[in-house]
Amino acid sequence: MIKYSAEVSAARSAGKPIVALESTIISHGLPRPKNLEVAREVEEIVRSAGAVPATIALIDGVIHVGLEEDQLIRIATDDSVVKASTRDLAIIEMTKQSAATTVAATAHIAKLAGVDVFATGGLGGVHRGHSYDESADLTALSQLEIIIVCAGVKSILDVAGTLERLETYSVPVLGYKTNKFPGFYLTDSGFEIEHRVDSPAEIAAIWKNRADLKTNDRAIVVTNPVANQMNPALHDEILNSGLAAAAANHIVGKAVTPFLLEHFHTASKGESLRVNIDIIKSNSQLAAEIAVALKK
């Protein structure tokens, strides 16, 4: 059912630390041709930190954990690549389409492959003004034992609502070297986080304690704030114009998030893109360090 890249297959046999990487950010989150460049750089960051990268996607209906070069190019450049959440996986296998996986779908496949650590940019969550538009990322996190490293939830979302949902689902939220909940493009979303951690070793200790306590049937969210944030005034202005444009164009369902991210990248003339790239690189670095710490 799952095909492993040569590198991931060797890492599994050797018991090496592996980091799962999502592919929707490559296909639908970052503009071309930067997306392919970043996908490659992120994999290299994971390797330099002593872990093995496993970018996850479906190619012609087959689930791949770890992509070979031609497969990564396919995800980054082929217009027919769709965005797949967990509910889409079995259907895409049947139709033999190629698909990039969201946080929810990537986490699901990572668990099937026995991978415990996962890096993304920003989590999905509750959408502003639409309390029934809630990313399947949240329900996935409530069901999968995995550590996800992110820069908080995407700032296009209802951050307060998303934090409340994470509390309901008993998903712990940790601030990496901070007590401020990161705001994706912004270092601080304006919300506090109760629990701060200062090292991958502390996160590994929490992971082990949860197994003993049997509170490990769900994810741990590690939030890693971006160092050089977007200008907050510019951020808020673009967010407002983006939300208005999404409503005016009747953008719904899985198209909402890619639409808003694209609006940001265009309207900010590359400033949000610069931040998004910083985020994914720094999260991948931290995820690799955590994966290494879990093996100690």
Q: Is 156 in the site for ligand PSU (CB under 6 A)?
A: no
| CA–CA gap between residue 33 and residue 35 (Å, rounded) | 5
Contact call for residues 109 and 101 (beta carbons, < 8 A): yes
Give me 161's structure tokens: 């609502």
Of the candidate spans 24-32, 192-200, 224-232, 266-274, the one that interacts with ligand PSU by CB under 6 A turns out to be 24-32
In this chain, which residue has its C-beta nearest to Mn ion? Answer: 133
**DSSP line for 251-264:** --GGGHHHHHHHHH
Distance of closest approach, residue 191 Cβ to Mn ion, in angstroms = 21
* Closer of 137 and 158 to ligand PSU (Cβ): 137
Quick one: which of 35, 135, 162, 285 contacts ligand PSU (CB under 6 A)?
A: 135
Cβ proximity of 183 and 190 under 8 Å: yes
Over its C-alpha atoms, the chain yields an Rg (Å, rounded) of 18
Q: Which of 150, 124, 152, 118 is nearest to 136 (CA)?
A: 124
For 10, the 3-state DSSP assignment is helix
How far apart CA 183 and CA 196 sit, in angstroms, is 16
Judged by CB under 6 A, the stretch of 32-40, 117-125, 166-174, 218-226 that binds ligand PSU is: 117-125
Residue 17 or residue 121: which is nearer to ligand PSU going by CB? Answer: 121
Residue nearest to ligand PSU (CB): 121
Q: Give residue 68's Cα distance to chain centre.
A: 20
How many amino acids of this chain bind Mn ion (CB under 5 A)? Answer: 1
The least CB distance from residue 251 to ligand PSU, in Å, is 11
Is 83 labeled as catalytic in the residue annotation? no
CB of 102 to ligand PSU, least distance (A): 3
131-150 residues in contact with Mn ion (CB under 5 A) are 133
Choosing from 24, 71, 86, 223, the residue that interacts with ligand PSU (CB under 6 A) is 24
Which one of 83, 111, 154, 180 is the catalytic residue?
A: 154
- With a CB cutoff of 8 Å and minimum separation 6, the contacts of 97 are 58, 60, 61, 80, 82
Bridge partners, residue 138, by sequence: none
Q: Which of 17, 29, 152, 182 binds ligand PSU (CB under 6 A)?
A: 29
Catalytic one of 7, 22, 134, 289: 22
**DSSP secondary-structure letter at 183?**
E
Binding partner at 103 among Mn ion, ligand PSU, none, C-beta below 5 to 8 Å by kind: ligand PSU
Is residue 127 within 8 A of residue 155, CB to CB? The reply is no
Question: Is 180 an active-site residue?
Answer: no
Q: Residue 257, interface with ligand PSU (CB under 6 A)?
A: yes
164-167 own/partner pairs: CB under 8 Å, 24+ apart: 165/125, 165/126, 165/134, 165/138, 166/138, 166/141, 166/221
The two tokens of residue 61 are: 């209906």
Q: Tell whether residue 265 is a contact of ligand PSU (CB under 6 A).
A: no
Q: Which is nearer to ligand PSU, 25 or 288 (CB)?
A: 25
- Residue 25's binding partner among Mn ion, ligand PSU, none (Cβ under 5 to 8 angstroms by kind) is ligand PSU
Whose tokens are 């369902």? That residue is 253
Residues at the contact surface with Mn ion, assessed by CB under 5 A? 133
Residues at the contact surface with ligand PSU, assessed by CB under 6 A? 22, 24-25, 28-29, 102-103, 120-122, 124, 135-137, 254, 257, 261, 276
